[in-house]
């Protein structure tokens, strides 16, 4: 398999990062095949980068277009950098990208939520360089996420594509994350892997630091710096084990970050330096508990989306900062990167802020006939054809590898979610998933627990894959998609089901990764009608009562943090309204209820 090793680009003594974000030229490729990178893009249309293109226009045809798009910008490289190795890096381009420098293809990447890069020295010219990106927003039965793809031809014989999302978020596309050109020396630090081994009783940790080098050094020096940037341990070699005494642990909502400083030397001179922040924390799943640093952890938090007004799925750091503050003031401690890996920037922020993250692949929509009619779906699960129809194995292996390579050192990541709401009840599911769990476990140097997020049809008696997971993660909508408007039985139904899971898998902790009710902010009802803020409050209260009665139930993550955009549909009014906050982050009534509940639940030691 291809290697995807991508240190986050930073400026150090030996490295410079240039930012290529800004307003780029933009054009739809219509008809398909009509544009090449050989000549400058002929267009007056512009788009901001990073951001989705869809909401940067008032033209509905452009917003909804499925097919190919071109972006282009120009840049110059300062002479003093030209002796260096120069790398062009995209945080993400959704969903497939072909990158050209001065008309020469330098990179191709499929998958809209992970970074990729290319060395570009040979493609650069003196003076102005032209950077062109062709991207596709097409999805089908081979891609993740999964899309329902159709191709027709127009009157002129040109292909026309259509993608119907097989999932519940808008198929935003564009150059979603930062574009950077960074320099390294020609002999450089290529990758660093940090594995802390902790002796809690003696407050000591041994940090295994593995460095991969591009080119050669005489010596690799590794130093661990504390938060004041004072060295606390030093060693040499590409495989070093350093001991920290009186170690400061990375704790949920109380982060402590060390820095691994890696230096490559030749003839006693520093050639390259890289600094990787890391936290020292231990994860253990045992006896129905999820332990962080030896103490049982209780997840309080959210499923989220990268989704904001105008930016769409483009990086929006102000919203990221605000969201984490809102979480903290609610007493929350965690979220899941539903339904794809989030930006590097968000992961670094969560490390810093002590937010606990369940890191999810873009494996969403692995279920035929996506819709919200749960009742009808309960029939015929044994005949479901998902696993003989979809062709997502290669994409799935790739996203697991890319996610783990990118995020392996993040202290905030405590578990990998291999997929969201796949057909785990269907014949063939176990054969499909077993090798993927093996792959994740083999790739993760920190050996974090793995899970998948189970849809409502996945019940103790219908699920075929629970043996694969370390933690049982459930999405449940009793009182919403089932028995809408009637909350009278919810507590009992939730409790009964949780007790069945607990009895069947006594070692596995259980969490809810989704539960929620669409709620239009400002709609009130004396009768607890669905869509009212009162109904949302009551809905969550019923579930809370059940949660507190089940010992191995160790976490509640609501659906969703905020309202978010989806495709059109009769069940969606400008998107999904299950947010606790509106899309612009105004709190609904339920925020007061859950803030009170969560601020009274300790992060650790709630369920003993």
In 3D space, the residue among 331, 347, 326 whose CA is nearest the CA of residue 299 turns out to be 331
Which residues between 470 and 489 bind ligand BDP (CB under 6 A)? 475
Nearest 5°: phi and psi at 470?
A: -90, -30
**Counting beta carbons within 10 angstroms of the beta carbon of residue 173, is it exposed (0 to 12), middle (13 to 18) or buried (19 or more)?**
buried
Residue 463 or 499 with smaller CB distance to ligand BDP: 463
Distance CA 258, CA 278 (A): 5
Q: How far is the CB of 553 from ligand BDP (least distance, A)?
A: 19
Residue 98 or 340 with smaller CB distance to ligand BDP: 340
Residue 398 or 475 with smaller CB distance to ligand BDP: 475
Residue 277 or 479 with smaller CB distance to ligand BDP: 479
Ranked by CB distance to ligand BDP, the top (closest) residue is 168
Tokens read off for 492 = 């009992």
Q: How far is the CB of 482 from ligand BDP (least distance, A)?
A: 12
Residue 441 or 567 with smaller CB distance to ligand BDP: 567
Distance CA 39, CA 52 (A): 25
Q: Where are the beta strands (DSSP E) in 159-218?
A: 159-165, 174-175, 179-184, 188-199, 204-214
The stretches of 147-296 forming alpha helices (DSSP H) are none
**578 is an interface residue for ligand BDP by CB under 6 A:** yes
Q: How far is the CB of 372 from ligand BDP (least distance, A)?
A: 6
Tokens read off for 186 = 């020609």
Q: How far is the CB of 292 from ligand BDP (least distance, A)?
A: 25
Q: How far is the CB of 422 from ligand BDP (least distance, A)?
A: 10
Cβ–Cβ under 8 Å, residues 137 and 66: yes
Tokens read off for 291 = 């332990």
DSSP three-state, residue 566 = coil
Tokens read off for 142 = 């081979």
Which residues between 363 and 402 bind ligand BDP (CB under 6 A)? 372
Q: How far is the CB of 560 from ligand BDP (least distance, A)?
A: 7
DSSP string covering 72-88: EEEE---GGGTTSEEEE
DSSP three-state, residue 12 = strand
Q: How far is the CB of 581 from ligand BDP (least distance, A)?
A: 15
Among 559, 561, 581, 598, binds ligand BDP (CB under 6 A): 559
Q: Which candidate in 96, 514, 533, 556 is catalytic?
A: 514
**340 is an interface residue for ligand BDP by CB under 6 A:** no
Distance CA 302, CA 333 (A): 9
**307 is an interface residue for ligand BDP by CB under 6 A:** no
Among 276, 421, 463, 556, binds ligand BDP (CB under 6 A): 421
Other Cβ atoms closer than 10 A to 564: 21
Among 129, 211, 263, 420, binds ligand BDP (CB under 6 A): 420
Residue 191 or 421 with smaller CB distance to ligand BDP: 421
Q: Which candidate in 165, 306, 402, 421 is catalytic?
A: 421
**313 is an interface residue for ligand BDP by CB under 6 A:** no
Among 384, 514, 533, 556, binds ligand BDP (CB under 6 A): 514
Residues touching ligand BDP, count (CB under 6 A) = 10
Which residues between 166 and 185 bind ligand BDP (CB under 6 A)? 168
**137 is an interface residue for ligand BDP by CB under 6 A:** no
Q: How far is the CB of 578 from ligand BDP (least distance, A)?
A: 5
Q: How far is the CB of 565 from ligand BDP (least distance, A)?
A: 11
Per the rule left: phi > 0, alpha: psi between -120 and 50, beta: everything else, 469 is beta
The sign of the CA dihedral 108, 114, 119, 125 is: positive
Which residue(s) pair with 263 in the sheet?
Answer: 221, 273
Among 66, 171, 576, 603, binds ligand BDP (CB under 6 A): 576
**What are the angstrom distances between the C-alpha of 599 and each of 217, 300, 323, 400, 450?**
51, 10, 17, 34, 28
Tell me if residue 586 is catalytic. no
Which residue(s) pair with 188 in the sheet?
Answer: 214
Q: How far is the CB of 513 from ligand BDP (least distance, A)?
A: 8
Residue 477 or 547 with smaller CB distance to ligand BDP: 477
Tell me if residue 514 is catalytic. yes
Residue 73 or 565 with smaller CB distance to ligand BDP: 565
Tokens read off for 121 = 């020295």
Chain centroid offset of residue 539 CA: 27
Tokens read off for 351 = 């490390």
Residue 248 or 304 with smaller CB distance to ligand BDP: 304
Other Cβ atoms closer than 10 A to 405: 18
Distance CA 603, CA 299 (A): 7
Tokens read off for 165 = 């999302």
Other Cβ atoms closer than 10 A to 59: 11
Residue 327 or 454 with smaller CB distance to ligand BDP: 454
Q: How many helices (H) and strands (E) does the chain have?
A: 10, 32
The binding track of 212-251 with respect to ligand BDP, each residue x by CB under 6 A or -, is ----------------------------------------
Residue numbers at the binding site for ligand BDP (CB under 6 A): 168, 339, 372, 420-421, 475, 514, 559, 576, 578
**Catalytic residue positions, numbered:** 421, 514
């Amino acid at each position: 398999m291809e290697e995807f090793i991508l240190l986050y680009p930073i400026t150090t003594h030996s490295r410079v990062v240039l930012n290529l974000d800004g307003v780029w030229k933009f054009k739809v490729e219509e008809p398909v095949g009509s544009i090449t990178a050989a000549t400058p893009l002929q267009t007056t249309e512009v788009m901001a980068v990073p951001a989705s293109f869809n909401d940067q226009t008032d033209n509905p045809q452009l917003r909804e277009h499925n097919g190919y798009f071109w972006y282009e910008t120009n840049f110059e490289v300062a002479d003093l950098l030209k002796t260096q190795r120069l790398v062009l890096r995209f945080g993400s381009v959704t969903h497939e990208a072909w990158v050209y420098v001065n008309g020469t293809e330098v990179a191709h990447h499929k998958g809209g939520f992970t970074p990729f890069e290319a060395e570009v020295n040979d493609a650069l010219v003196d003076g102005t360089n032209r950077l062109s990106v062709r991207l596709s927003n097409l999805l089908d039965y081979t891609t993740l996420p999964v899309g329902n793809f159709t191709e027709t031809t127009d009157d002129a014989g040109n292909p026309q594509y259509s993608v119907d999302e097989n999932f519940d978020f808008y198929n935003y596309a564009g150059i979603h994350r930062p574009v950077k050109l960074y320099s390294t020396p020609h002999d450089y630090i290529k990758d660093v892997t940090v594995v802390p081994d902790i002796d809690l009783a003696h407050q000591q940790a041994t940090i295994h630091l593995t460095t991969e080098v591009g080119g050669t050094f005489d010596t690799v020096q590794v130093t661990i710096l504390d938060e004041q940037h004072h060295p606390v341990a030093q060693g040499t070699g590409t495989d070093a084990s350093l001991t920290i005494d009186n170690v400061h642990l990375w704790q949920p909502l109380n982060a402590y970050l060390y820095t691994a400083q890696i230096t490559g030397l030749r003839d006693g001179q520093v050639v390259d330096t890289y600094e990787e922040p890391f936290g020292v924390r231990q994860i253990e799943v045992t006896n129905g508990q999820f332990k962080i640093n030896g103490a049982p952890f209780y997840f309080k938090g959210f499923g989220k989306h990268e989704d904001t007004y105008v930016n769409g799925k483009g990086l929006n750091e102000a919203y990221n900062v605000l969201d984490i503050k809102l979480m903290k003031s609610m007493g929350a401690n965690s979220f899941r990167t539903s339904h794809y890996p989030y930006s590097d920037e968000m992961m670094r922020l969560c490390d810093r802020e002590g937010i606990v993250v369940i890191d999810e692949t873009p494996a969403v929509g692995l279920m035929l006939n996506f819709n919200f009619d749960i009742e009808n779906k309960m029939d015929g699960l044994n005949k479901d054809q998902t696993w003989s129809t979809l062709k997502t194995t290669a994409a799935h292996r790739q996203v697991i590898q890319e996610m783990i390579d990118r995020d392996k050192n993040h202290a905030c990541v405590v578990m990998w979610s291999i997929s969201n709401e796949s057909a785990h009840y269907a014949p063939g599911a176990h054969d499909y998933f077993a090798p993927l769990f093996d792959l994740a476990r083999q790739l993760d140097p920190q050996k974090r627990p793995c899970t998948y997020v189970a849809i409502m049809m996945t019940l103790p008696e219908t699920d075929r894959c629970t043996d694969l997971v370390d933690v049982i993660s459930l999405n449940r909508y009793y009182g919403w998609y089932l028995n809408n408007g009637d909350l009278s039985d919810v507590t009992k139904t939730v409790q009964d089901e949780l007790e069945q899971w607990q009895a069947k898998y006594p070692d596995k902790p259980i969490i809810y990764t989704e539960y929620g009710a669409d709620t239009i902010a400002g709609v009130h009802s004396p009768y607890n009608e669905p869509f009212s803020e009162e109904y949302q409050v009551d809905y969550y209260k019923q579930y809370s009562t059940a949660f507190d009665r089940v010992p191995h139930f160790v976490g509640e993550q609501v659906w969703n943090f905020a309202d978010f955009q989806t495709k059109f549909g009769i069940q969606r009014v400008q998107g999904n309204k299950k947010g606790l906050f509106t899309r612009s982050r105004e709190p609904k009534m339920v925020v007061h209820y859950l803030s009170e509940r969560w601020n009274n639940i300790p992060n650790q030691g709630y369920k003993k």
